[in-house]
Amino acid sequence: MAIVFDGTRESYVEGLSEFLGSGQEDTPEWVADLRREAISGFGELGFPTLSDEEWRFTNLEALRRGSFSIAEDGISDVSMKTVNSYGFSGLDCLRLVFVNGRFASSLSDAGYTREGIVVKALSEAIREDGDLVKDYLAKYADYEKDAFISLNTSYFEDGVFVYVPDQTVFEKPVHVLHVSTDEGRPLFINPRNLIVIGQSSDAKVIEHYVSLSQSVYFSNVVTEVVCGENANLEHYRLEFESQKAFNFSTLRVNQQKNSNIASHSILYGGAIVRNNVHPVLAGEGCNSDIYGLFMSEGRQHMDNFMRVEHASPHCDSRQFYNGVLDGRSKGVFHGRILVHEGAEKTDAKQTNRNLLLSDTAQIDTKPQLEIYNDDVKCTHGATIGQMDEEALFYLCSRGISMKTAKIIMLRAFTNQTLEHMSIDSVREALENTVMKWFEQRLGNGDGR
């Protein structure tokens, strides 16, 4: 029987014992303890409200009223052909597939466990590499302070575990495909990913969220990343959830000395979406490049919440977020840069550009600098505008149709973020998706 949450805080708190009793019996006790601890966090916090400063632009009333249940089995609904259709052309990668939060081994490549590298489902890793996982899981994403992290930590079923030991370059990108299906009732899905990169090691991970139906569900993702000394990680989060989904996600990165991360977030689907990106530059000399592109239409609501934490000296961070908004959609960019007292010579930069395609789309952009050191360089800039009429006229005066001119301009805008992706086939696939989206927006007319 399915476990159902009726939207109240109590239902989520009380549902855990049933959850632990059904299908989680072989989970080690330390994980069960973690879940119990985390749900008490949610019991204290509850869902945030508009009076919470960090949530003042995103109303969760519909989520609080919604009834959701844990998935039973959707794996049999998904074919290999469907899964392959979400692949990236010509990309030699390692693919792990999850359906409604559960690992689908029949649709996935065999896990990778050679030369100390471990890439497998987190559920398997907990059973087989428990000591390794235990050192990192839930050590960074704070379930006592964030309601969605609490819920995920309590109810996560699966996700990817990537472990790359010291001095190792893992050449193959890991493609983590999370598929949701329609089980006839709104689901509560909690993907959980853990990525640990050792000293002077390299990896690339593509988290990819897709939906086979336009159903309502509540997906709540947490990814923890530990980027070791002098390590490099390129991380992608491609959000193509159902247009009716509630989607919350947190990327929590811990960066050790001289490490580099490049994070790319693409928000495309979802009714109410909140994407938290929270790197902590914990060691000296780190570099964080955070890119994002969100595209909203209809009544979609997309909330980008950045929290870039400079905790050590000589670290650089770059946030570069572009939004394209159409219809009656709403966007939020909340860019917080927090510079700790000891983090001298911090160089932090934040740019958020927004393009409104309709008169009814809306964007709230809010930079927030919190600086406790005098010797830092922090800049931020935000723009909101419509397409440049002068540039459109210039292009048309050269013989290019208005529709093509608009597409050229939109491509130029979105490429400002996409061009930083190092995996060409992913970038090209996204460019195509973006193009199709634009063409839909512009309709069949001549573009005027």
- Contact residues for another protein (CB under 8 A)? 388, 390-391, 393-402, 404-405, 408-409, 411-413, 415-416, 446, 448
12 closest CA partner among 55, 41, 34, 33: 41
Least CB distance from residue 234 to another protein, whole Å? Answer: 22
**Burial state string for 219-244 with b = 16 or more CB within 10 A and e = fewer than 16:** bbbbbbbbbbbbbbbbbbbbbbbbbb
Least CB distance from residue 333 to another protein, whole Å? Answer: 20
User: Which SS3 state, helix, strand or coil, does residue 253 take?
Assistant: strand
257 closest CA partner among 282, 238, 283: 283
Nearer to another protein, 61 or 446 (CB): 446
Least CB distance from residue 216 to another protein, whole Å? Answer: 37
Least CB distance from residue 291 to another protein, whole Å? Answer: 15
Length of the chain measured in residues = 448
Nearer to another protein, 33 or 446 (CB): 446
235 closest CA partner among 210, 264, 258: 264
Phi, psi of 145 (to 5 degrees): -115, -20
**146, amino acid identity:** D
**403, amino acid identity:** K
Nearer to another protein, 117 or 356 (CB): 356
Other C-beta atoms lying within 10 Å of the C-beta of residue 421: 21
Least CB distance from residue 416 to another protein, whole Å? Answer: 6
Nearer to another protein, 91 or 400 (CB): 400
Rg (Cα) of the chain, in Å, rounded? 21
Nearer to another protein, 371 or 409 (CB): 409
Least CB distance from residue 411 to another protein, whole Å? Answer: 8
Nearer to another protein, 3 or 357 (CB): 357
Other C-beta atoms lying within 10 Å of the C-beta of residue 51: 7
